[in-house]
Structure 1
Amino acid sequence: MIISNYIKLRITKALGTLVTVTVIFLCIFGCSKNDPSDSTQREQISNPTNNSPKEENINRDKLGIISKTKTAGWKKIDDPSEDGWETEFLANQANKQLKKLGNLFFNEGSLNDLVTSEIATDPLTPESLELIFKDKNITAHKGNRNVNQPNGGAQHLKKELNSVRQKRTGSDDDNHAKFKIIGIKKENGSAQKKFTTEVLFSLNFRTEKNVTEKHARWSVQWNGEQEKPKIDKIRILSFNQTSSSKSEKIFTDVTGSALDSNDSYKTQLSYGMNHWLTRLPVRAMLNRFGTPGISIGDVNGDGLEDIYLCQEPGLPNRLFIQRKNGTLMDVSAEWGVDWLEDSRSSIIADFDNDGDQDLAVAVYGMILIAENDQQKRFVPAMTLKTSWSTASLAAADYDKDGLLDLYVCAYVQEDNGESIGAANNQFVYHDAENGAPNLLFKNETTKSGKLSFTNTTEEVGLNINNQRWSFAASWEDFDNDGDQDLYVANDYGRNNLYRNDAGKFTDIAANTNTEDSASGMSVTWADYDRDGRMDLYVSNMFSAAGNRITGQQQFKSKTNDKIRDRFRRFARGNTLLRNIESSFVDKSISAGVNMGRWAWGSNFIDLNNDSLADLVVANGYLTSKEETGDL
């Protein structure tokens, strides 16, 4: 039995920064509700009255005094060309032009300011489409570029824009055209200023018949003045298109209908994280990420799955019992689990083997274990001391004694008042080993049912390579030898794959190509290729800017290629590792699953019941009040 539940809900991450989720529940920080009391308050600091020459030379920014001319100063500081990064300046200008082009898919306008008179472009949708998937809901095609097809000009591009504009229906929320510049190369020595960008293009729109989604990779050549470059050539490097069989969306957000009968939904859960950040007694780094976890299980034995939702400090945790009609009832207080402690994650599982589901919650500095009392309430039974910065939990019977053991992921070390993360001057961004230690607790519950856990981390060998910034872990028998192995996803560097040999663990990540050195934030297992071996998918971060910058010759030019590659890897995105028995092979790019944006959680799941493992990736950033639709 393997249990590993954790989720990050609309979270943010500082300076470049889950366990496998069983279900993705986006009710807490995903549903933003404007707070009528919110208002922008600015303190005005009066100018000093003393105008002596000495005080006139004082750096006012260092004093915290806001200058009236500060905006102009920051514009200069934020200009990449001021630092010698001309390619970033060009990318910014090109991005503005691409945004205007995207607007023309849905609104009429002129191409004159966007393209040259001699523009040559491939068809944005290739004429030759290869069917790669079809079921009752979705049809997917792959496009192949016809090298013998004559280039189209501005009129051809207008025709394609008009085609989408005429077909599309629905609101603006249903229609999007987005571009991400992931690479740029400047052409030196040309009479006109020319440069080429590699662009990821995504387009989705609703028609009366279906919803269409297109994804492509373009090579775009630019020509003209720096301030306003124009498109001279578009080449389609890859293309994929999916279409639904109906114009309705496949999934429907039922958060409100499932929860709105509860006062806790109206007064607590319906507000966004921005609302609570200004009101919570936050003290830990992870509080500012908005990372409380969630667990699923049948706590009252009625055959329906219930939900336990962790919360930030000062907000009560919530237990929702599922009714037969699918709605949820808040029983947090009645069941005694509306704790106000800083809660990071939880697991619902039968730890004492009495046939009902118990509860483990990772709170500030400890794990709280609560017994299920006659399927009517939870009773706190014991606490397990941990690092103060617990991140997630994963449970499995690693020693095959019939009892579920507990692995605890920890993130940052004890709070000592120093800067943390990449702000620490001792921090190694690409290979950090100053995180908090993870812990393994062996379940030694007695036959009479008295719960007991013992820290066996060092005894079983899990103390090796155990100072990482761990976000998630997941148990799986990857080598098919009958026991549970452990994969740990770490932020800021290399991950761990601990092989279980008769209850003793060895980190074999370096020897099996599974270190995946990046910003690991979740892990999920499945046999996606159906060869009998469990494969691995790790959520990291995709960054268009990171891809551009790390690909430039001037990026860390004095650093060796190995370190440069490490930094470049941080921007690539998610990782799919295929199990080939003795090792793993990286299939992320060829399978097309690396661009998961800023991915916080992922899960293999069969969405369409065809027995194949599909992928669901939760991504995004802390949501602003103004919905941008960008993440």
Structure 2
Amino acid sequence: MRLTLMLLLAVVTVAAQPVGDRVDALEAKVPPRNGDWKTEVLQATAKPQLAALGAVLRDGAWDDLKSLAHPDARSTALRDAGAPRRFGTVTVVQTAAPRGPAHVSLAAALLHLRGPLVARFERRVGFKIVGVHQADAASFQTDVRYEAFASSDNGSGVQQVARWRILWRHHDGRDPTILDIRLERFEEVTRPHRLLTECTASVLDFEDARLSTLATGGETWHGRVDGLGELNLMGHNGIAVGDVDGDGDEDLYVAMGTGLPNLLLVRQPDGALIDRAEDLGVAWLDDTKGVLFADMDNDGDQDLLMAVGNAIVLAKNRGNGAFERIVTMRAPTPAAFYSLAVADYDKDGDLDVYGCRYVKLQYGISIPIPFHDANNGPTNHLMRNDGEDRYTDVTGKIGLNANNTRFSLACVWIDHDTDGDPDLYVANDFGRNNLYKNEGGRFVDVAAIAGVEDQAAGMGASVGDFDLDGKPDLYVTNMFSAAGNRVAYQDRFKRGEDAQKKQIQRYSLGNTLFRNIGGRFEDVSEKAGVRMGRWGWGARFCDIDNDGYDDIIAPNGFLTGHVKDDL
């Protein structure tokens, strides 16, 4: 993991390095003061000042503003009370440019911005510097993403997200001060009550020894289980939802890491969930990643597919929730499967399964080369369902071996050209994605032609029809990096290497929403306001408020560290 992160830093923050560079040598270049990037040094001086400004907005400590801003500091209006739009109980105000007076005092602008936060007890304010430009010897500018959230005991809340351009006065030997703030975009969302309520404790009994593994994070088990399987630390384990016992209620299958039994949480009449994995035959101890329920034998009940090492394991449902007759579909090389997706690609009446694989050896050891367009990963595989529990690996036979050595994390079936057969989209980390067009049971990669290569850190893909035009749209999860946005768009970065520069710039932007325009796609991420997904994983279309429109739920984050700035 550390090496992978350092490779990213090497790509976006330092000049090209000799192949033999050591990690510790690269690590020494990470602090801006150790390099020759003047703009990075400047943003590093602005960062603590922004943190202090956030504290002013959070706590109302206006006296502290004196040390942050020039005495004559001014600002455009930072909060726009424009025409509200309502989505159910949620109210949204958006603007692309400030209205009202061209400039007011900075204190007045901040006071007005803070207004909706004051009446609520829980307040969070943060900034990300996504651009930096040196104006002259005495001043510089930063492009900043502002985020604030506040909530009350009754569940009401307000969220503000904005883009600012801040002009700073540079001072030798002391902190910079704010000269001017200009609002470029603003959004404010208010709610009268919570959209979701956390109810884990009401449905899971953590006193039950079988559920105790859910009460702690991956760090608890890292180093406590043997090294025969993959490390538990990364959390690359999935969840499947389905009705395993035919009672009409949805149950959960929770995949776990090496040495920890997988869980089958069966819903009870009172709404509680109890683990029945052991007595129903699926309490596997092997590291399990992608899992899903699907009726693989057309008998009307939900069978269970699991990615276990380099095998796709099928546990067949007897009809009462108990599983038997294990079928194993194994890849020809040791690389582990990560994600699974099923569809009847050949239209013979039964479901086939496609499996993604990520690294040849082990996470953190298999190194993507080149980092932003790697093509040295393991192969993915399509297992054709031939009936009678027989599955055949037909990957090469049907054309899915083209562009098939990426670092794949997710896949989804999508009839992108609405011709009646399922096409296949594969999201790849460290490079271009694939869109395999189904041509009568054979596939051709048309991602470039269709405009969905989305060369970035692919972490997920979801299909929906967000504009209700009858054509399937695509939302791809990637990674957002403030540092990547800040560095890769500067003139001196990769000067003279325009093609590679453009590729690396795309890498740090974030998630992508593709609107289907008839077999081809257009990127509408910025227009729709859904680019920012942080370190994203498996975002999904979901009509969360039952209004008939697809919303997007975008999980994000990674390992929770012991200190605030740790990953």
Common fold by TM > 0.5: yes
2:65 is aligned to 111
1:89 is aligned to 41
Q: 2: distance between equivalents of 1:483 and 1:491?
A: 27
Q: 2: distance between equivalents of 1:576 and 1:435?
A: 26
1:181 is aligned to 129
Aligned residue identity for 1:222: W
2:392 is aligned to 454
1:603 is aligned to 540
Q: 2: distance between equivalents of 1:202 and 1:356?
A: 46
Aligned residue identity for 1:132: R
Matches within 5 A, 1:143-222: 143-146=95-98, 149-157=101-109, 159-160=111-112, 163-164=115-116, 166-169=118-121, 174-188=122-136, 190=137, 193-207=138-152, 210-222=156-168
Aligned residue identity for 1:508: V
In the TM superposition, what is the alpha-carbon distance from 1:494 to its structure 2 partner? 0.4
Q: 2: distance between equivalents of 1:161 and 1:418?
A: 44
Q: 2: distance between equivalents of 1:463 and 1:421?
A: 21
In the TM superposition, what is the alpha-carbon distance from 1:201 to its structure 2 partner? 0.5
1:561 is aligned to 498
Matches within 5 A, 1:8-23: 14-15=4-5
Task: Calculate the TM-score normalised by the size of structure 2.
Answer: 0.91
Q: Residue by residue, what CA displacement relative to the aligned partner does 1:558-611 show, whole Å, maximum 9, x if unpaired?
A: 5x1110010111100001111111411111111111101111111101111111
Would you say 1:491 and 2:436 are equivalent positions? no
1:439 is aligned to 381
In the TM superposition, what is the alpha-carbon distance from 1:624 to its structure 2 partner? 2.5
Q: 2: distance between equivalents of 1:611 and 1:165?
A: 31
In the TM superposition, what is the alpha-carbon distance from 1:254 to its structure 2 partner? 1.3
Q: Match for 2:282 among 309, 328, 337?
A: 337
CA contact (8 A) 2:219 2:233 kept: no
1:538 to 1:12, Cα distance in 2 relative to 1, 3 A: farther
Q: 1: distance between equivalents of 2:336 and 2:54?
A: 43
Q: Residue by residue, what CA displacement relative to the aligned partner does 1:485-526 show, whole Å, maximum 9, x if unpaired?
A: 100000110000011111111100011111000010100011
Would you say 1:624 and 2:566 are equivalent positions? no
Q: 1: distance between equivalents of 2:399 and 2:54?
A: 54
CA contact (8 A) 1:607 1:614 kept: yes
Q: Match for 1:504 among 442, 450, 453?
A: 442
CA contact (8 A) 1:114 1:230 kept: yes
2:234 is aligned to 289
2:359 is aligned to 412
1:433 to 1:102, Cα distance in 2 relative to 1, 3 A: same
1:419 to 1:339, Cα distance in 2 relative to 1, 3 A: closer
Q: Match for 1:131 among 78, 84, 103?
A: 84
Aligned residue identity for 1:581: G
**Structure ranking higher on relative contact order (CA contacts 8 Å, 6+ apart):** 1
Q: 2: distance between equivalents of 1:154 and 1:401?
A: 68
Q: Please list every run of 5 or more consecutive structure 2 residues that lacks an aligned counterpart in the other structure.
A: 9-23
CA contact (8 A) 1:12 1:290 kept: no
2:20 is aligned to none
Q: Residue by residue, what CA displacement relative to the aligned partner does 1:447-470 show, whole Å, maximum 9, x if unpaired?
A: xxx311111111111111100100
Q: 2: distance between equivalents of 1:314 and 1:518?
A: 33
1:277 to 1:610, Cα distance in 2 relative to 1, 3 A: same
Q: Say how many residue pairs are matched.
A: 547
Percent of counterpart pairs with the same letter? 37
Q: 2: distance between equivalents of 1:266 and 1:358?
A: 23
Q: 1: distance between equivalents of 2:524 and 2:74?
A: 34
In the TM superposition, what is the alpha-carbon distance from 1:159 to its structure 2 partner? 2.9
User: Which of these two proteins has the greater Rg computed from alpha carbons?
Assistant: 1
In the TM superposition, what is the alpha-carbon distance from 1:107 to its structure 2 partner? 1.8
In the TM superposition, what is the alpha-carbon distance from 1:13 to its structure 2 partner? 10
Matches within 5 A, 1:43-54: none
1:121 is aligned to 75
Q: Match for 2:255 among 281, 295, 310?
A: 310
1:398 to 1:286, Cα distance in 2 relative to 1, 3 A: farther
Matches within 5 A, 1:513-528: 513-528=451-466
Q: 1: distance between equivalents of 2:364 and 2:561?
A: 29
1:585 is aligned to 522
Aligned residue identity for 1:104: V
Q: Please list every run of 5 or more consecutive structure 1 residues that lacks an aligned counterpart in the other structure.
A: 1-10, 18-69
In the TM superposition, what is the alpha-carbon distance from 1:531 to its structure 2 partner? 1.3
1:353 is aligned to 298
CA contact (8 A) 1:106 1:164 kept: no
CA contact (8 A) 1:117 1:154 kept: no
